[in-house]
Structures are given as structure tokens and as C-alpha cells.
Amino acid sequence: MDKGYAWVVMMATCLLQILYSCLLTSFGIFLVDITETTAYSTGRIAWIGAIGATFCGVSGAFTGNFIDRYGCRKVVIVGSLMISTGYLLSAFVRNVNIQYFSLGILAGIGFNCYAVSSHVAASQWFSKRKSLALSIVMFGMSFGIFIWGPIARFLSFTFAWRGAMFVIAGIQLNGLVIALLLRPPPKEKKPIEEQVKKELEVQEKKNITFKLCDFTLCKDWLFMVYCVANFCLLFGHVLPLILLPTKAETLKISKTKGAALVSTLGACSCIGRPIVGYCADKPWFNRRLLFASSSLVGGLLSAFSTLLNTFVLLMVYSSLIGFFSGI
């Protein structure tokens, strides 16, 4: 724990977060191109990203149980195949309703396998430095937001958006390689009596019918308050990633600068994560206060973002919302 192979697992989960950040970052770039090249409105196309984000979050209630039963490695492998299949289908289909399934439901669930498995795997290998390890894992998502904007714009410019999705389908298969690095931590040596008792408990659990979803935690009101707070936070967090390029387009700002807004958001979120992760392990650090204050500031920034009508102001907004979402 906290040493040796633990750092290999941490880097592997960081790479998973980079792949995971493709979900909303790249779609925000493709949204403009898909609208221009199809007969569908921006509202109908935007539903693809909304469905993807929804299933990425909701499926977490089931993914956790599958990780407990089959392990992070197998879940990530399944997720990688689902994402690649979803992007591959979306590169060829012409009906937006099918893309609701392929890029929304199928890829959304696959991305959730990445997200949940990366956090669980890192938590299993770290104890004393868990906050620092998880902050570095989340740094991967911030870095992914930073690089996926230019990558998606380059691929869309070079191969058109359908060709770009075909390439991304191949990139997401790297999750299969990363999954091989996710092995469970070694078991601690215990007295024979405890080992026998543990084996009996495991055997008893196997004899019980597998539950797809366990809502036991819902009885804890503090946990439910935290869930509601995260729902509100993430509801506002994903919108800038999807809609900033579209807002730039309506203001006659170039597509390249629109992608730069998303990249700036990701770059600024990279700044706060390692610092907060290091401080969060200290006894004097108030994590709840920071969570509440950063959520409040981020909400106020997004509330007034409708008044911004120049590239400079949007860049300032992207920088600030990126920094406070990163802490």
C-alpha cells in the first residue's frame, strides 16, 4: 500500500481519466460540425451529449457492484469495447436516433466503467496518501480536457467528424492495454482463524443471488445530501464543455478559438487538483468548506456567463470555471 506497484496503478488510472474526458470535450467540438452537415437542429444533436452524460452517471449505481464481483480489470475491458463500438457505429449511421443509443447510451455506460474503476483501483492501493493519489488521478481528467479539444478539432478538420469518430474509436481501445495494469492489491497475511472466517464469508456471499444494484447507502442521509450536491455540481460542470464551442460559433468566433476555450478550461483545472490533493491529507484542511465555496463560485460564474459576448471574456470565464471546478 502507498508504494511500489501502487504508483503504477495510479498512473494507469490517470491515463483512464484522460480517455474518459473524451466523453464531453470532443462532443462539444463535434456538435458544431454535426449540426452543419446534417438536417438536424442543434437541440436534437445536443441530446446525444445529454444522454451520454446521463447514462455515464446513472450507470454508476450498477458498475460498483460489477467491480466488487468481477474486479476493475474486467469492467474496464468491457467499458473500452462498449466505447469503441459506440463511436464506430456513430461514424457510419445517418439517423440521430441511433446515435442516441450508440454515442449516448452505449458509450456513456462504457465511460462510466472508466470513471468508477479508476477511482476504485486507486483507492484500493492507497491509504495514507489517498487524497493525493485521487487528485493525481483526477489531474488526468483535467489534462484530458486540455488536449481533447485540439485533438478533436484537428481530427474533425482532417477527416471530418465521421472520420474523427472512427479514429477516436481506435484510441479508446487503449483502455484494453491499461486494464492489464489494474491488478488488485496483495492480500495481507492474517492468522489462520481469520482466513478461514473470511473464506466462509466469501463463500456465503457467492451463494446469495447477485444483486445488480444495492441501495443500502441510500439510508444514510449524509450520503444522500452529498449525492444531491454532486448532482447540482455536475449538472453545471458539463454544460461549459458542451456549449462553449457552440456559444463561440453564435458569436462568430472561429472553431479553433472555440476549441481553445475548452482547452483553457482543462488547463486551469489542472492547477488546483494536485495542490488540493496534497493539502486534503492534512488534518487542518477543511474539505467541506472548500467544496461548498468552490461550487458557489462556479455557479455564480456560470449564471453570469450569458452576459459574455467577446472571446476575451469567454476566455476569462473558461479560466475561472476551470480552476474552481478543479478544486
**13: its cell numbers:** 488510472
| 258 neighbors 245 (Cβ within 8 angstroms) | yes
Q: Which amino acid is at 50?
A: A
DSSP code at position 318: H
| 124 neighbors 184 (Cβ within 8 angstroms) | yes
> Is 196 inside a domain boundary?
no
On the question of pLDDT at 16 being above 90, the answer is yes
User: Structural domain of residue 36, as residue ranges?
Assistant: 5-184+218-326
Q: Catalogue the long-range contacts made by 252-260 (C-beta closer than 8 Å, 24 or more residues apart).
A: 253/311, 253/314, 255/29, 255/32, 255/153, 256/153, 257/311, 258/29, 258/32, 259/29, 259/149, 259/150, 259/152, 259/153, 260/149, 260/150, 260/315
Question: What is d(CA 76, CA 91) in angstroms, rounded to the nearest whole number?
Answer: 23
pLDDT class for 108, splitting at 50, 70, 90? very high
| 117 neighbors 9 (Cβ within 8 angstroms) | no
Q: Tell me the torsion sign for CA atoms 57, 61, 66, 68.
A: positive
Question: What is the structure's pLDDT at 168?
Answer: 95
On the question of pLDDT at 58 being above 70, the answer is yes
The position carrying cell 446513472 is 58
> Is 103 inside a domain boundary?
yes
Range of weakest confidence among 42-46, 91-95, 200-204, 212-216: 200-204
Give residue-wise pLDDT tens across range 307-322. Answer: 888 999 999 998 888 8
Give residue-wise pLDDT tens across range 207-259. Answer: 444 555 566 767 777 778 877 777 777 767 777 887 888 888 888 888 888 88
**Mean pLDDT within 3-21:** 90
> Is 201 inside a domain boundary?
no
> Is 154 inside a domain boundary?
yes
Q: Which amino acid is at 164?
A: A
Question: What is the structure's pLDDT at 208?
Answer: 45
> Is 14 inside a domain boundary?
yes
> Is 253 inside a domain boundary?
yes
Average pLDDT of the chain is: 84
On the question of pLDDT at 33 being above 70, the answer is yes
| 29 neighbors 245 (Cβ within 8 angstroms) | yes
pTM: 0.78
Q: Give kind and range of the element (H or E) at residue 201.
A: helix 192-207
**166: its cell numbers:** 472512427
The tally of domains found in the chain comes to: 1
Question: What is d(CA 32, CA 44) in angstroms, rounded to the nearest whole number?
Answer: 12
**Mean pLDDT within 122-142:** 84
Task: Check which CATH number belongs to the domain holding 313 and give it.
Answer: 1.20.1250.20
Question: What is the structure's pLDDT at 209?
Answer: 45
SS3 189: coil
Question: What is d(CA 35, CA 46) in angstroms, rounded to the nearest whole number?
Answer: 9
Span between the terminal Cα atoms of the chain, in Å: 26
Question: What is the structure's pLDDT at 204?
Answer: 54
Question: What is d(CA 127, CA 107) in angstroms, rounded to the nearest whole number?
Answer: 32
For residue 84, the Cα-to-chain-centroid distance in whole angstroms is 16
Of 127 and 119, the structure prediction assigns the larger pLDDT to 119
> Is 191 inside a domain boundary?
no
> Is 252 inside a domain boundary?
yes
Q: Which of 178, 190, 130 is nearest to 6 (CA)?
A: 130
Of 230 and 74, the structure prediction assigns the larger pLDDT to 74
pLDDT class for 138, splitting at 50, 70, 90? confident
Give residue-wise pLDDT tens across range 153-193. Answer: 899 999 999 999 999 999 999 999 999 999 888 876 656 55
